[in-house]
Amino acid sequence: MSSFDENLALQRVQRDEGTIEIDLGEILGVIFHRLWIILIVAAIFGGMSYAFSKYVLPEKFQSTTKIYVLDKEAKDSASATYTDLQVGSQLTKDYAELITGRYVLETVMKDMKLDKLYSYEEFLDKVDVVTPTDTRIVAITVTDTDPATAQLIADAIREVASEHITKVMAIDAVNVAEKANFPLEKSSPHCIVWALLGAMAGFFLMSCIFVFSYLSDDTIKTEEDIEKYLGTSALGLIPFDENVVEDIGNSKKKAREPRRSPEPEEEPVIPQVMPAPVQATGIQAAEAKGRASKVAEARYAQARSQATRKPAGK
């Protein structure tokens, strides 16, 4: 068996197994060839995302307040040991659970008359409690579309939580480490981040569309495609002539046009020669009238003969 037959058999086996060869260089070439379209779509997606985050999404502000908790033993002792501080830092997780509990949040909602606007779960999404490691400080952050409302809610949660922690954990007092601030800048949305994410999404989407279109295109375009898909070699090439294609298209167009029936021929128009008026004065008038009538008859006969010969000449 020759080498050509072996390659042909190998290609047929590959086609039967359903294997698909993907050339990474060709895929990159497809993306690079359509790069200007991809960049335009990415810019459009980025602009739309920026406008959506700027004019559609509501602005949100965050206000943060901090409390410091110290138990009785550490307060009475002259100096707190490392073990006391470590135990106190572990208790801050308990404080965080008490702050986000139903008692504290529902009390704040009732005092601020927000119980009709939010449920407990919805109000809980607005509150975030953070306990830094190796500290007894608890940070309470409230997010709202109004900066003043966010500040008021944070202070209200701190006051109710301080009383609740004192009663439950048998703590003398909860000190205020930092009052709630009035936010001057929005915390979200970040328009630049939205624009970058939109541009990346547009770039990825258009790249996937072009790559999928390239991989699903199984039409034969070159000699290599003939050997790749059909497993045979090309015997020759036929040049493509656009004029021949135009002539074939015009002939088909004329064949599809309906034929018109021949128009009827117009009947020849025979001019009528009217005799000139002659004054009836004696014999001369009668003779002149006779000559005029003969001349008129001769002209009429001549015109009639010419009219009848004209269609025969066509």
Q: Which sequence spans correspond to the domains of the chain?
A: 3-55+190-230, 61-178
Q: Bridge-partner residues for 176, per DSSP? A: 67
Task: Give the contacts of 211 (CB within 8 A, at least 6 positions apart).
Answer: 27, 30, 31
Q: What percent of the chain has pLDDT over 90?
A: 33
Check whether 134 has a pLDDT greater than 80.
no
Query: 271, 303 in Cβ contact below 8 A?
Result: yes
* pLDDT digits 0-9 by tens, 176-221: 889 999 998 888 889 999 999 999 999 999 999 999 888 887 777 6
Task: Give the contacts of 223 (CB within 8 A, at least 6 positions apart).
Answer: 233, 234, 237
Provide the pLDDT for residue 13. Answer: 46
- What is the edge-to-edge ordering of all strands in the sheet holding 61-69? 127-130, 137-144, 61-69, 174-178
Provide the pLDDT for residue 73. Answer: 53
Task: Give the contacts of 285 (CB within 8 A, at least 6 positions apart).
Answer: 278, 279
Of 74, 71, 64, the residue nearest 91 (C-alpha): 71
* pLDDT digits 0-9 by tens, 82-130: 555 555 566 778 888 889 999 999 999 999 999 889 999 999 999 999 8
Provide the pLDDT for residue 278. Answer: 47
Would strands 174-178 and 61-69 be described as parallel, antiparallel, or unpaired? antiparallel
Query: 63, 182 in Cβ contact below 8 A?
Result: yes
Provide the pLDDT for residue 191. Answer: 93
Whether a cis peptide bond, with omega within 30° of 0, leads into 189 is yes
The sign of the CA dihedral 5, 6, 10, 11 is negative
* Token pair belonging to 61: 């502000």
Fold that domain 61-178 belongs to in CATH: Alpha-Beta Plaits (3.30.70)
The sign of the CA dihedral 69, 74, 79, 80 is negative
> CB count, 10 Å around CB of 306?
12
Radius of gyration of the chain (CA): 50
**What is the C-alpha to C-alpha distance for residues 76 and 85, in angstroms, rounded to an integer?**
14
**What is the C-alpha to C-alpha distance for residues 93 and 89, in angstroms, rounded to an integer?**
8
> CB count, 10 Å around CB of 237?
7
> CB count, 10 Å around CB of 207?
18
**What is the C-alpha to C-alpha distance for residues 172 and 166, in angstroms, rounded to an integer?**
6
Provide the pLDDT for residue 155. Answer: 93
Provide the pLDDT for residue 182. Answer: 93
Question: What CA dihedral angle connects 81, 82, 83 and 87, to 10 degrees?
Answer: 110
**What is the C-alpha to C-alpha distance for residues 217 and 30, in angstroms, rounded to an integer?**
12
> CB count, 10 Å around CB of 201?
15
Task: Classify the phi-psi angles of 136: left when phi > 0, otherwise alpha if psi is within -120 to 50, otherwise beta.
Answer: alpha
Query: 278, 292 in Cβ contact below 8 A?
Result: yes
Check whether 38 has a pLDDT greater than 90.
yes
DSSP secondary-structure letter at 178?
E
DSSP secondary structure of 242-262: HHHHHHHHHHHHHHHSPPPPP
Provide the pLDDT for residue 88. Answer: 58
